[in-house]
Structure 1
Amino acid sequence: MSVDVLTFGLNHVSAPVAVRERVSFPMDVLKPALDGLRSAFGSSVKEAAILSTCNRTEIYCAAEPQVQEHLPSWLADFNSLEANSLQPHLYQYRRNEAVRHTFRVASGLDSMVLGEPQILGQMKDAVRAAEQAGALGTMLHQLFQRTFSVAKEVRSQTAIGTQSVSMAAAAVKLAERVLGDLSQANVLFIGAGEMIELCATHFAAVQPKSMTVANRTLERAEVLATRFVAKTMKLSDIPDKLADYDVIVSCTASTLPILGLGMVERVTRARRHKPMVMVDLAVPRDIETEVGRLADVYLYSVDDLGRMVQSGTDARRAAVVQAEAIIDTRVQHFMHWLQTRAVVPAIIDFQQAADQVRENELDRARRMLARGDAPELVIEQLAHGLTQKYMHGPLAALNRTENDERKQLLNLLPRLLPRVDRRR
């Protein structure tokens, strides 16, 4: 059965963060998930990769077409969810549409922040994880290599990445909207990954009173803190020190909330109800949603920031048309490669059959020479034998067919015959 490129999943457009966090795959779960996917579908799934970020969870497959209808159930089962709960939020693409979607994602055209560059690095991490899990083969390897090339081409030849309004910049604006001047604000960053680093860069630019990085391991926190002359603390120290901070930005890989309602309620009382801004960029979320109901806490999720940054993308939308044109061309190139690859087995079989005919006729010619037949006669018999053998298949097919099928063969026949150089 034929193998197709399939893409399946959900993103910030199709599903709210409350749904996305339920199907998020932390990096240490990717290999078990890929193993489970291939085990569930057996040889029907030849290759696979999983991309999981705060804005999307997507599965890329080289698989037999019937796999597509069963992927939603697998995703729900793996995450212990009812299949019906995910169905309204899922999208599926096949063949050229799957390739186009992959190219658009890597190029930042499908991002919450149009043109944002982080998604390309996240996709490369996903591909690396799939390679380490032994889940990549020729088809997806080729797809992703071309994907990275397309993303680079889009970024270098269009203005899609200029005037970027990032999530990190939006976090600063939201904090200023609530607290005003941040020069007297104490800022706490929970986590030490790429998103926290971006946020720390933007907050440092407005020169808050102090910045602190809290992380599970102090070593990573200290590496980041050194860049911004910030303090560090362990996650376990947060309950005792949270009241000292006016702005909290959290983005960790924790599967459970780090800041709960009870803890934050105690903190607001200790602060005498002085307002706090909390920005939760994690999926699954680091801060319990109930915290947002507290009168003195301004809690923003990744979706809240996404809505804010949409207004800043107008200057880049003109580049989208140009980017889409580049992607359309590259999709055609990949599909041509895919189609060419599909006929390779037939070409090999044809070549092997031709080689066998040649060997048989050569053996016959050698026997004739060994018994003393004239070389001219042997050469003539060899040429005649090869000609008859090569002509037999097309002529037999013509004799067996009628009407439209015969017309089609007659139209193809001149293209299949060898060209004769009459100058020789």
Structure 2
Amino acid sequence: MQLLTFGINHQTAPLAVREQVAFNAEAMDVALRDLVDNGAAKEATILSTCNRTEIYCNTTTPAQAVGWLAAYHHLPVAEIEPYLYRLPQAQAVKHAFRVASGLDSMVLGEPQILGQMKQAVRQAEQAGTLGFLLHKLFQRTFSVAKDVRTQTEIGANLVSMAAAAVKLAERIFPGIAEQKILFIGAGEMIELNAVHFAARSPRCITVANRTLDRAETLARRINGHAITLADLPKQLAQHDIIVTCTASQLPILGKGMVERALKQRKHRPLFIVDLAVPRDVEAEVTELDDVFLYTLDDIAEVVKDGLDARQSAVKEAEVIIDSGVSDFVHWMESREVVPTIRALRDQAERNRRHEMEKAVRLLAKGEAPEKVLDMMSNSLTNKFLHAPTHALNQVHGDEREQFLEVIHRLYHFNSEE
């Protein structure tokens, strides 16, 4: 079993790099099957979020698996190599446990990543790429994450991305209650932000989404109204605060569209939070006056507030994780001897069947049962002991001492024997 985790995250790569290797949720099945069908991995799961893209796999060719990631996104390996981490075996197990527990998140202790990891596992299961090893890994991962979250205060005093977005908006505007807010997208991240902003009772809330049904569902929950993405060019100027997070592979808000909105607003400030990876807002928008654009990495600076209050829980969480890693690594090591155990049992079974058939033939010829049983037991004993005694006679020096020690352990001999 060759467990490997590799990828990039918010700690190793800037947003501009992370968005180049992000996976579209709708094409995840295709990507997973391509990774396995190409022979780069025997089984695989892809976790692709705003903060990370990492692949958990069972592979004997790590370089080929990494090469697949670059090739899939039409990138030379050298372009992403400086940002990549490769974590084999025990390191991969510990990383999975820490990610699921919220210890590796941009917001320490945030719970959203656990749901994202579970979704990644479901997608791998649907694609047929979740094999025996990864199934066991994630089963144990979710159990450890549950222990961390129930037995420590890792989530205490949590400052979420949504709360940070509200905090930034309140630096720009005297109060949220007088502003009109536009949410672009209707996924989990937008829902979290919508709830936080709605609690400030803004003048107006609009939800824009590719499909109107999903936009209307969220709008009803927060007392807003829904539009489609096609309505954005006309509606953009009417809003003061924009929070966007879609799965689009191309920008939703271009520099030209935002520039036209600013002219209609007579250059009243426009506050934009772009939480998407790849980004929903063209980077050139930052060049415009009267626009306050914050990306996911910008939000990270705000969420550091309250971090100290949770640091004391990290040591407790690491103890739980280390114990879980030790148990899982022991399980992996035990699985590696299974083929040898199976081979030993198969050989013993062949010997048993051979002697049994010989004994039955002798009994059929009228031989005394006692004599047949004695012959069969002697023959089995000789066959079972032939391999270890022959090997013992062939070894010399230090190797002989080591072999003797193994024999004593196998047969529970004491030193006198």
Deviations 1:151-184 (A, max 9, x none): 1111111111121100000000000011121110
Q: What is residue 15 of structure 2 aligned with on the other side? A: 17
1:122 to 112, 116, 133: 116
The one-letter amino acid of 2:19's match is E
Superposed CA deviations along residues 80-132 of structure 1, whole A, max 9, x for unmatched, are: 12322211111110000011111111111100000111111111111111111
Q: Which runs of 5+ in 1 are unaligned?
A: 420-424
Partner of 2:57: 61
Given candidates 40, 44, 47, the residue that maps to 1:48 is 44
Corresponding residue for residue 211 of structure 1: 205
Superposed displacement of residue 330, structure 1: 0.7
- 1:185 counterpart (179, 198, 203): 179
Q: Secondary structure at the match of 2:97?
A: helix
Give distance in 1, aligned partners of 2:319 and 2:253.
45
Q: Once superposed, which parts of structure 1, at least 4 consecutive aligned residues long, lie more than 6 Å away?
A: none
Q: Distance in 2 between matches of 1:23 and 1:14?
A: 13
Match of 1:102 among 96, 100, 109: 96
Distance 1:355 1:238 in 2: 73
Q: Is the 8 A contact 2:50 2:275 kept in 1?
A: yes
Q: CA deviation at 1:418?
A: 7.3
Query: 1:248–1:278: 8 Å Cα contact kept in structure 2?
Result: yes
Deviations 1:395-424 (A, max 9, x none): 0001111112211111011222279xxxxx
CA distance in 2, matches of 1:80, 1:356: 54
Aligned match of 1:6 = 4
Distance in 2 between residues matched to 1:19 and 1:372, nearest whole Å:
83
The 5-angstrom pairing of residues 263-412 of structure 1 reads: 263-412=257-406
Where does residue 28 of structure 1 map in the other structure?
Answer: 26
Choose from 133, 136, 143 the match for 1:149: 143
Higher deviation after alignment, 325-334 or 362-371: 362-371
Residue 356 of structure 1 deviates from its aligned partner by 1.5
> Contact 1:20–1:55 (CA<8 Å) still a contact in 2?
yes
- Structure 1 distance, partners of 2:382, 2:67, is 56
Structure 2 equivalent of residue 111 of structure 1: 105
Q: CA RMSD in A?
A: 1.5
Contact map agreement 2:59 2:65 (CA 8 A) in 1: no
**Aligned equivalents of 1:70 and 1:321: distance in 2?**
36
The answer on whether the counterparts of 1:72 and 1:86 sit within 8 Å (CA) in structure 2 is: no
Q: What SS does the corresponding residue of 1:197 show, helix, strand or coil?
A: helix
The 5 Å alignment of 1:70-89 reads 70-89=64-83
The CA deviation at 1:362 is 2.0
- For 1:33 and 1:366, locate their aligned partners in 2 and report how far apart those are by CA, in whole Å: 58
Question: SS state of the match for residue 249, structure 1?
Answer: strand
Query: Residue 36 of structure 1: CA displacement?
Result: 2.2
Amino acid at match of 1:58: E
State percent identity of aligned pairs: 55
- How many aligned residue pairs are there? 414
CA displacement 1:252-281 (0-9 Å, x = unmatched): 011111111111111111111111110000
1:21 is matched by which residue type in structure 2?
E
Cα separation, 2, equivalents of 1:355 and 1:417: 20
In 1, Cα distance between the equivalents of 2:49 and 2:273? Answer: 17
Query: How many Å separate the matches in 1 of 2:44 and 2:187?
Result: 26
1:17 counterpart letter in structure 2: L
Can you give the 5+ residue segments of structure 2 that lack an aligned partner in the other structure? none
Instruction: Report which stretch shifted further, 367-376 or 210-219.
Output: 367-376
Looking at structure 2, the residues matched to 265 and 371 of structure 1 have their Cα atoms a distance apart, in angstroms, of 103
d(CA) in 1 for partners of 2:385, 2:65: 48
Q: Which residue of 2 aligns with 1:260?
A: 254
Deviations 1:291-328 (A, max 9, x none): 11212000000110012101221111111111111111
